[in-house]
Amino acid sequence: MVFKEKGFAATTVDDIGRRAKMDRATVYYYFRGKKELFREMVNEATSENVHMAERMASLSSPPRERLRGLIEGLLQSYVKHYPYLYVYVQEDMVRLIKDGSSWGKQMIALNHRFDHAVFKIVQEGLISGDFVSERDPRLLAAGIMGMCNWTHRWFDPNGQVSSAELAKVFADLVLDGLLPR
């Protein structure tokens, strides 16, 4: 939670230790610093999201059902991995992943795999006629993911709206906009 409150750059190992009710030496016993701790949390969540998206893309069910499942899965993940997955999205992701490290390269690869899975669902829906749009499927996929990712600015998992309700609203918004008229 301290990463969300203060941002990645402003958070110190002392802040993390205080929040976890331990001293900074204990944090350093397990991690080399805040960057390693943050990266480990984000990597696990991102890997789970990629596997979920690829699983959705590989199903034989109609694209409409797969896209709804993907949106639901992503928003459930944001709650499960709250707040650090939101911090990753909120912070300058390009700066965090393009630092030349092996972690950065791994995150870039995971992001590409995720994007490809979303694109695949959208493209298959357009090809099958389940979705109707003359727009570039990559642009449509990016818009859908942008809508989900922007929730880092306002969604509170402990608020009045659940992730399930939010996913339903988002999926209905996207899918009703893509259905044949």
Mean pLDDT, range 5-28, rounded to an integer: 84
Structural domains for the chain: 34-178 (1.10.357.10)
Cβ burial 37-61 (10 Å sphere, 16+ → b, else e): bbbebbeebbeebbebbeebbeeee
Round the average pLDDT of the chain to a whole number and report it: 88
> Residue 139: CB partners within 8 Å, gap ≥ 6?
none
Task: Give the integer Cα–Cα distance in Å for 68 and 72.
Answer: 6
Task: With a cut of 70, say whether residue 178 has pLDDT above it.
Answer: no
Cβ burial 136-170 (10 Å sphere, 16+ → b, else e): ebeebbbebbeebbebbeebebeeeeebeebbeeb
Reading the block at residue 121, the tokens are 């669902």
Burial class (CB in 10 A: 0-12, 13-18, 19+), 171: buried
| Cβ–Cβ under 8 Å, residues 114 and 148 | no
- pTM for this predicted structure: 0.84
Distance of CA 21 to the CA centre of its chain: 28
Mean pLDDT, range 144-159, rounded to an integer: 89
| Cβ–Cβ under 8 Å, residues 133 and 49 | no
Per DSSP, the three-state class of 117 is helix
Helix segments in 59-162, DSSP class H: 63-80, 84-90, 93-97, 102-128, 137-149
**End-to-end Cα spacing for the chain:** 45
Task: Give the integer Cα–Cα distance in Å for 153 and 90.
Answer: 8
For 54-110, how does the pLDDT look when each residue is reduced to its tens digit (9 = 90+)?
999 999 999 999 999 999 999 999 889 887 777 777 766 667 667 788 888 888 899
Mean pLDDT, range 22-45, rounded to an integer: 85
As a whole-number percent, the residues of the chain with pLDDT over 70 amount to 93
> What's the pLDDT score for residue 152?
82
